[in-house]
């Protein structure tokens, strides 16, 4: 039973797990915002080198990474002290406002933290406090980061998708979620499946229907769960896309293209926590 897995080391372990999930969620908020900015700066610098353009503005030369500079209010640029940087609790205590200028702080920050905590607990409920449970946590955190980065920027960074793919292959060397042969075939088939759809759509419409990051993400999912899971991954992501995409269009009333990465990430996580059931349906 899931509750038995969660409580195998008692309630303190469960509370610690939830707190780790909240803390990782706080870190993922940083990754979601900063990684695309870092990549944009890197691409801009490379383009200027190739084009022999003038040096980048001073602002672009300032250190900017996952750990620097310190987090600050986007409205008044005041650095956020540690006491106001406690996952979820600080946002609730400050009532969603900056302590300095009282500008509203987006509710998405605590939502990502809470989502990461809940998803982490469910991952451990599925696999227990084992090495496979640890792998499930890494998958969960990567999937959340990719989903929100793609939602914001329509990018699925290689810095996350490729390590995720290799980690899936490594986990399955030891038969974690499937055998190694199925994992390798799954990675190849996952990439080629969306690559084929992309080129078929482009040849027919002369438009691009998705990005190469989607190919790599489905390849990573194939590496984790094997080629047998690919049909169900495609089906689940399509259903999620119809439901969430339709809701998004109704709320936003926008014709802006909706990225496919979040739907793949959700499908991958559903397959992770309901692995045996998904494979049972996929294999009939």
Q: Is residue 71 part of a domain?
A: yes
Question: For the range 135-140, what are the long-range contacts, defined as Cβ-Cβ under 8 Å and sequence gap of 24 or more?
Answer: 135/167, 135/171, 135/176, 136/272, 136/273, 138/167, 139/164, 139/167, 139/168, 139/224, 139/268, 139/269, 139/272, 140/116, 140/269, 140/272
If asked whether residues 136 and 97 sit together in one domain, one would say: no
| Residue in 217, 219, 20 with CA at minimum distance from that of residue 134 | 20
For residues 108 and 137, membership in a common domain is answered with: no
**Which of 114, 146, 161 represents a domain boundary (last residue)?**
114
The reply to whether 123 falls in a domain is no
Q: Is residue 147 located within the same domain as residue 266?
A: yes
What tens-digit pLDDT sequence spans the chain (284 residues)? Answer: 466 778 888 889 999 999 999 999 999 999 999 999 999 988 888 887 777 766 555 455 567 788 878 888 888 888 888 888 899 999 999 999 998 898 999 999 999 999 999 999 999 999 999 999 999 999 999 999 999 999 999 999 999 999 999 999 999 999 999 999 999 999 999 999 999 999 998 899 888 878 899 999 999 999 999 999 999 999 999 999 888 878 877 777 666 777 999 999 999 999 999 987 777 776 66
Residues 63 and 161 occupy one common structural domain: no
Domain identity same for 178 and 259: yes
- Indicate the pTM of the whole model: 0.92
Identify the residue whose tokens are 């080198």: 49
> Do residue 67 and residue 202 come from a single domain?
no
* Domain boundary, last residue among 114, 143, 161: 114
Do 139 and 37 lie in one domain? The reply is no
Give the pLDDT of residue 92. 92
Which residues span the domain enclosing 153? 130-284
Q: Is residue 185 assigned to a domain?
A: yes
Residues 97 and 168 in one domain: no
Q: How many CB atoms lie within 10 A of CB 4?
A: 9
Q: Which of 114, 140, 161 is the last residue of a domain?
A: 114
| 149 and 272, same domain (yes or no) | yes
Q: How many residues does the chain have?
A: 284
Q: Note whether 105 and 161 are same-domain residues.
A: no
Residue 121 lies in a domain: no
């Amino acid at each position: 039973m899931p509750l038995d897995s969660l409580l195998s080391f008692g309630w303190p372990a469960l509370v610690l797990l939830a707190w780790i999930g909240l803390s990782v969620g706080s870190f993922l908020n940083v990754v979601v915002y900063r990684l695309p900015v870092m990549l944009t700066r890197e691409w801009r610098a490379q383009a200027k080198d190739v084009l022999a353009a003038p040096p980048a503005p001073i602002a672009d030369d300032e250190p900017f990474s996952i750990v620097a500079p310190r987090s600050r209010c986007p409205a008044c640029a005041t650095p956020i002290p540690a006491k106001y940087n406690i996952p979820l609790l600080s946002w609730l205590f400050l009532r969603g406002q900056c302590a300095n200028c009282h500008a509203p702080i987006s509710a998405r920050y605590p939502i990502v933290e809470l989502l990461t905590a809940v998803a982490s607990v469910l991952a451990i409920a599925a696999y227990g406090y084992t090495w496979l449970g640890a792998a499930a946590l890494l998958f969960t955190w990567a999937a959340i980061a990719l989903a929100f980065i793609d939602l914001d920027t329509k990018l699925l960074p290689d810095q996350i998708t490729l390590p995720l793919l290799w980690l899936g292959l490594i986990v399955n060397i030891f038969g974690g979620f499937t055998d190694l042969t199925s994992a390798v075939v799954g990675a190849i088939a996952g990439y080629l499946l969306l690559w084929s759809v992309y080129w078929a759509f482009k040849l027919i419409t002369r438009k691009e229907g998705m990005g190469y990051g989607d190919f790599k993400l489905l390849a990573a999912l194939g590496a984790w769960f094997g080629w047998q899971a690919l049909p169900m991954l495609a089906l689940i992501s399509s259903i999620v896309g119809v439901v969430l995409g339709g809701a998004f269009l109704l709320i936003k009333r926008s014709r802006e293209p909706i990225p496919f990465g979040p739907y793949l990430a959700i499908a991958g996580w559903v397959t992770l926590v309901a692995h045996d059931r998904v494979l049972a349906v996929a294999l009939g």
